[in-house]
Structure formats: structure tokens, C-alpha cells
Amino acid sequence: MGKCEQCIIRKFSSLRALNKEELIKISSCKTSRIVKKGEPLFEEGDHLKGVFCIREGACKLTKLSSNGKNHIVKFITKGDLLGQRSVISDESVNLSAVAVNDMEVCFIPRDEIMDSFRGNPDFSVEVVRDICYDLKNSDDVSVNMAQKNVKQRLADSLLYMHDTFGEDIDGFIKVQLSREEIAGMVGTATESLIRMLSEFSKKGLIEVKGKRIKISSILKIQNVSDGIM
């Protein structure tokens, strides 16, 4: 199995603040795992025994809403850490994590993380910074969800998907979600979402090929998001 010290992935997460000894210690007790597309990493209410480090692939964090729909709160991709919140605050997880493509993840047991958190202030500051960033984002999302209409929210979701996954060689967003999943992310009925996708498509804002979506003009989509239509 690979060694944490040499793993490039950690450079992108708060793990970068760990020193060599800590990395070696973690390396010796971490486990690695493959998660296939569609499989859950954990589910809402689970109690995590450690933190996941995403080496490859991506997953969606979802929450079952009271109306029975699955809402995608955010995506976690290569290089991200997952589960710190739950591990540090010692509470069950609030969201489910499901792979949106094949993933390779490392698992670092709770005790290792907590030792470093309590013993290495650089690491704890990094971790908190990450969580603060998530909180800021989440607050922004709340405001957008409350104040924007469905069309604006779809524009936001498209931009978020584009930011998170990037483009393939043809310029399509490098992730394939069902219409239902996108509807859940936007917070609308699947039929409404489908209609809006074709409206965007007709207006030349996007190009749709099956599940693949290409943003024709970032600027125009941004304008929709800002209510300039």
C-alpha cells in the first residue's frame, strides 16, 4: 500500500500541515478501499470511526428531505477530506456520501486524527479553516436557495458542477447525473428541471447530449444566476 508521506493528494487537504512523524504513524494504520459508482461510503446517521481521504473519483453528499426527495448538498472530489466534522465533534453524520464515479479512498482512524488535532496546532487551524470555508459556503447556499428562483438556482448548480468537475475534451462537464439528481440539487420537480434544461438549450446557454451537459457561455449562465435574464 502507498505511503502517506509520498501521497500527493494530501497536499490539497488540511493533511498538508502534518509533520513526517505523524504521516508515518497514519500511514501504518490507514486502510484503502475502492467504492464503485452508486455505492455509499456512509449514510445519514452513521457514526464514523475515522476520516476518509479521497484519492480518486468523487462522491455526492446528500440528505433526505422531509418531502422524500434526495437533496445533493455538495460534491467531494479527489484531494478532499471527508468526515472531519463528524469525527471531531463526535456526532453521527448529517449527510450520506454516495460515489458518483468509481472512487479510491483511504481511511484514517479517528484516534490518529484526534491526536494530531490536539497535538499539532497547525493541523487544527487548517482543519478549522476548511470547516469555516464549508460553513461560509453553506450559508451562501442557504441564502441563494431562499432568495433565488428555480432558473437562477439551476444556473448556480450548473456553475457549481462545472467548477467542481471541470470539462472533458469536448467541453462537457465531466460528471453525469440523472435529471432527478440535478432536480434534487436545484430543489425543483424533475419535470420542471427537464423543461428548464431544454429552455436553456434552446436559448443557446447550454448544449445537452443525453446526460452530458456543456455550458456554452459561462458569462450568460452567470447572468441568469444573477437574475439578469
Partner DNA sequence: AAAAATATATGATATTTGTCATGTATTTCT
Partner DNA sequence: AGAAATACATGACAAATATCATATATTTTT
Binding residues vs a copy of itself (CB under 8 A): 63, 65-67, 69, 71, 73, 85-86, 88-89, 91, 94-95, 117-119, 121, 124-125, 127-129, 131-136, 138-148, 152-153, 186-187, 225-227
Beta-bridge partners for 34: 104
Nearer to DNA, 27 or 152 (CB): 152
Beta-bridge partners for 74: 61
Longest CA pairwise span in the chain (Å): 57
Q: Which residue has the cell 434544461?
A: 197
Residue 140: contacted member of a copy of itself, DNA, none (CB under 5 to 8 Å, by partner type): a copy of itself
Residue 180: contacted member of DNA, a copy of itself, none (CB under 5 to 8 Å, by partner type): DNA
Member of 124, 164, 192, 222 binding DNA (CB under 7 A): 192
Nearer to DNA, 12 or 160 (CB): 160
Binding mask 97-136 for DNA (x = CB under 7 A): ----------------------------------------
- Helices 218-225 & 150-165 angle (0-180, nearest 10): 140
Taking the C-alpha atoms of residue 199 and residue 201, their distance in angstroms, rounded to an integer, is 5
Taking the C-alpha atoms of residue 196 and residue 203, their distance in angstroms, rounded to an integer, is 10
CB 179 within 8 A of CB 138: no
Decide if residue 210 touches DNA (CB under 7 A): yes
